[in-house]
Amino acid sequence: MSSEIQTPAAPSSLPAAPKAKSLGRTVKAYVALTKPRVMELLLVVTVPAMILAQQGLPNLWLVLATLLGGAMSAGSAGAFNCYIDRDMDRKMKRTKNRPLVTGELSDRSALVFSWVLGVLSVVWLWATTNWLAAALSAAAIFFYVVVYTLVLKRHSEQNIIWGGIAGCFPVLIGWAAVTGDLGWPAWVFFLVIFLWTPAHYWPLSMRYRDDYAAAGVPMLGVVRGRATVGLQIILYAWATVASSLLLLPAPGIGWLYTSVALLSGGYFIVQAHRLYGSAIRGREGKPMQVFHGSISYLSILSLAIAVDPLLPF
C-alpha cells in the first residue's frame, strides 16, 4: 500500500485582480457628472448674447473667459444635481449609466467636485469679466440646485417651468460680461428660453413617463394625460415664438433674424401640434421628435442672433 501523499493540483487559473481605474476613465466620469449635453446647449446661447450686446464681435479673450466660467457654472450645477438625485437615478433606465449609479465615482468625490467647480466659476468670472457676471453665475447654481433640484423637482408638476429659469442665466451672464449691466434685449432673450424650456422638456417627460413614475418625480408627463401635456406644449411653443419676435426692435436685429424666427418658429409650432394631434387620438406620437426639434429651433434662433449684428446691411 502506497504511503505517497497526494497534494491537490494547483488551479489552472486564478481570478483576475480588479483593474485599477485609469485616469482616462476617471476624467470621463467627472465630465459625465457635469451633464455635458446640457452644458453645450447653455453655452450655445451665451455667445449670441455677447455679440448682440457688443453689436459686433467681442474681444476673443473675453468670449473664451466667459465660456469657461459659464461651463464651470453649468457643470457645477449638473454635478450637484447628479449628487442630490442619485437615489432617483438608480431607479431610472435613462440615467442608469451616470457615474454615481455605476459606482465609477464616490458620492464624496462628486460633492467635493461640485463645490470646487462652482466656487471656481464665480472666482474666475469675477477675475476675468466683472462682478455682475460672477454674481449671476452664483445665482444660476443656487437656483438650479436649491430651487429646482431640492424644492421643486420632487414636489411639483410645475418643476420644469420655474426650474427652467436656471437655464436662462447664461444669456444674462454673457450680456453682463460685455456691458456690465443688463439691457432689455437680454431680458427678452431670457424670456424666450424661459418659455421654450417646458415645451422642450415635457416631450421628454412623455417619452420617459414610466421612468419618472418609478422614481417618484411628478413631471407633467406623469401626473397628466398625453392630451393635457400636448396642449401645454402647444401653448408654450406659441408663447416662445411670440416672445422671440419681441427682439425685432433690438439694435443689430434685422432681416435674417426675422426670417429665421418666423420660419423656425413655424416649424416648432407645427411639431407641437402634431404631437397634440396624436395625443387626442390616443396615440403616443413622436415626443422625441419634438424634443430634438426644439433643440434645433433654439440653436438656429441663437445662430441668427449671433450673425445678424455682423451683417453689413
Instruction: State pLDDT tens for residues 102-138.
Output: 889 999 999 999 999 999 999 999 999 999 999 999 9
* In the predicted structure, residue 210 carries a pLDDT above the cut 90: no
* In the predicted structure, residue 15 carries a pLDDT above the cut 50: no
Lowest mean pLDDT among 53-57, 70-74, 160-164: 160-164
Residues near 37 by beta carbon (within 8 Å), at least 6 away in sequence: none
Of 66, 298, 283, 282, nearest in space to 200 by CA: 298
Domains recognised in the chain with CATH numbers = 35-181 (1.10.357.140), 183-313 (1.20.120.1780)
Please give the average per-residue pLDDT across 18-22, as a whole number.
Answer: 57
Contact 176, 182 (CB under 8 A): yes
* In the predicted structure, residue 6 carries a pLDDT above the cut 60: no
Confidence of residue 158 (pLDDT cuts 50, 70, 90): confident
- Given this model, what pLDDT does residue 25 score? 87
Sign of torsion, CA 219 223 229 235? negative
- Given this model, what pLDDT does residue 219 score? 85
* Residue 18, Cβ density class (10 Å: 0-12 exposed, 13-18 middle, ≥19 buried): exposed
- Given this model, what pLDDT does residue 147 score? 92
* In the predicted structure, residue 13 carries a pLDDT above the cut 50: no
Residues near 217 by beta carbon (within 8 Å), at least 6 away in sequence: 88, 153, 154, 159
Q: Which residues of 150-168 are buried (b: 16+ CB within 10 A; e: fewer)?
A: eebbeebbebbbbbbbbbb
Each residue of 59-108: pLDDT tens digit?
999 999 999 999 999 999 999 999 999 988 888 888 888 899 988 999 99
Please give the average per-residue pLDDT across 257-276, as a whole number.
Answer: 95
Confidence of residue 18 (pLDDT cuts 50, 70, 90): very low
Mean pLDDT of the chain: 88
Q: What is the C-alpha to C-alpha distance for residues 182 and 178, in angstroms, rounded to an integer?
A: 10
Contact 79, 117 (CB under 8 A): yes
Each residue of 239-251: pLDDT tens digit?
999 999 999 999 9
The residue written with cell numbers 486564478 in the block is 14
* In the predicted structure, residue 14 carries a pLDDT above the cut 50: no
Sign of torsion, CA 13 17 22 26? positive
- Given this model, what pLDDT does residue 109 score? 93
- Given this model, what pLDDT does residue 20 score? 52
Q: Which residues of 252-291 are buried (b: 16+ CB within 10 A; e: fewer)?
A: bbbebbbebbeebbeebbebbbbbbebbeeeeebbbeebb
CA 107 centroid distance within chain: 22
